[in-house]
């Protein structure tokens, strides 16, 4: 005889929710098409004569940021609309405990600066041994010229480009859009190094290529582990800010090095 009040079956324990990058539905072809208008001007500017550019005005810097931010936003909007995704499903801005993500991302941006400096010294030594003349990025050289002539307006504008436009736009396009699509096509490891090499190439400096590729790989790893695009954006912004402070001698990194 069955009992009057049979015990309800036990419910399975809840599955813990962990942060991390989930599979994105857009294709590599979609990402590449949306990415190309960003890459083309970068490569064309590398073909222009160096050292002839005039310092940007504040209006130029703001317009430049607005144009590229609008482009990155449009690329995300196209992907979201085409695949009926929410913003969080696209870039994961709500994934993981945000205070912890912010603190660790800022710390990572600071800690990578000496690593990058050491890598630059190693690459410079190797290039000199094979009689190649290492050159810094054009934006870095323009920044240093503006610092020498005490052009504070140009310095502010270059700083805005470095800590606002570059982190937001490049992370949305490289990490948020291109890497997940490439991962779907060629796997995580190949996608990480493919996007990292492209990231380094877009900066147009042989001296900085290896450090930037490793930096990009670290940013991609961050995004993969957290699933939150805010993490690489913050790290990228802090890293650029520290480098700006070094170039301005606010952080006298070269003075701390032993005399050669």
What's the rounded Cα separation, in Å, for the pair 168 and 171? 6
Longest CA–CA separation in the chain, Å: 96
Q: What is the SS3 assignment for 8?
A: coil
Tell me which H or E stretch contains 240: helix 230-247
Distance CA 171, CA 223 (A): 10
Q: Please report where in the chains the tokens 């912004």 appear, as a residue.
A: 237
pLDDT of residue 147: 80
Domain ranges of the chain: 28-41+51-251
Better pLDDT: 237 or 10: 237
Has residue 188 got a pLDDT over 60?
Answer: yes
| Percent of the chain at pLDDT exceeding 90 | 49
| C-beta neighbour count of 99 within 10 angstroms | 8
Using DSSP's 3-state secondary structure scheme, residue 76 falls into helix
- CA nearest neighbour of 51 among 170, 121, 138: 138
Report residue 37 CA to chain centroid gap: 17
- Please check whether residue 235 is in contact with residue 222, taking contact to mean a CB–CB distance below 8 angstroms: yes
Of 3 and 207, the structure prediction assigns the larger pLDDT to 207
Rounded CA-CA distance 105/226 in Å is 10
Between 81 and 250, name the one with better pLDDT: 81
What pLDDT, on a 0 to 100 scale, did the predictor assign at position 184?
Answer: 93
Name 215's Cβ contacts closer than 8 Å, sequence gap at least 6. 112, 116, 239
With 80 as the cut, is the pLDDT of residue 97 above it? yes
Confidence (pLDDT) at 45: 58
List pLDDT tens digits, range 129-138.
887 776 777 7
pLDDT at 256: 59
Report CA Rg, the chain.
22
Query: pLDDT tens digits for 199-215?
Result: 998 887 888 899 999 99
Report the alpha-carbon distance of residue 64 to residue 161 in Å, rounded: 8
The residue assigned the tokens 């090499």 is 197
- Report whether 182 contacts 194 (CB < 8 A): yes
pLDDT at position 15 is 39
Q: 251 or 185: which carries more pLDDT confidence?
A: 185
pLDDT at position 258 is: 46
* pLDDT value of residue 142: 80
pLDDT of residue 3: 55
Per-chain mean pLDDT for the chain: 84
């Amino acid at each position: 005889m069955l009992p009057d009040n049979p015990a309800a079956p036990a419910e399975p324990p809840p599955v813990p929710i962990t942060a991390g990058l989930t599979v994105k539905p857009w294709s590599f072809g979609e990402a590449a098409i949306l990415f190309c208008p960003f890459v083309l001007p970068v490569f064309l500017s590398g073909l222009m004569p160096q050292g002839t550019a005039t310092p940007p005005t504040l209006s130029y810097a703001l317009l430049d940021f607005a144009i590229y931010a609008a482009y990155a936003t449009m690329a995300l909007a196209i992907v979201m609309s085409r695949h009926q995704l929410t913003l969080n499903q696209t870039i994961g801005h709500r994934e993981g405990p945000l205070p912890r993500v912010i603190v660790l991302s800022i710390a990572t941006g600071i800690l990578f600066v000496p690593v990058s400096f050491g890598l630059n010294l190693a690459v410079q030594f190797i290039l000199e041994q094979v009689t190649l003349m290492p050159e810094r990025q054009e934006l870095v050289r323009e920044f240093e010229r503006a610092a020498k002539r005490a052009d504070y307006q140009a310095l502010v504008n270059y700083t805005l480009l470095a800590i606002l436009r570059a982190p937001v736009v490049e992370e949305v396009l490289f990490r948020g859009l291109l890497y997940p699509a490439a991962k779907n096509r060629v796997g995580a490891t190949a996608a990480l190094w493919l996007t990292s090499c492209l990231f380094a190439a877009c900066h147009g400096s042989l001296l900085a290529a290896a450090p930037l590729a490793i930096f990009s790989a670290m940013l991609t790893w961050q995004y993969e582990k957290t699933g939150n695009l805010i993490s690489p954006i913050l790290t990228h912004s802090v890293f650029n800010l520290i480098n700006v402070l070094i170039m301005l001698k606010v952080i006298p990194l070269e003075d701390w090095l032993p005399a050669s």
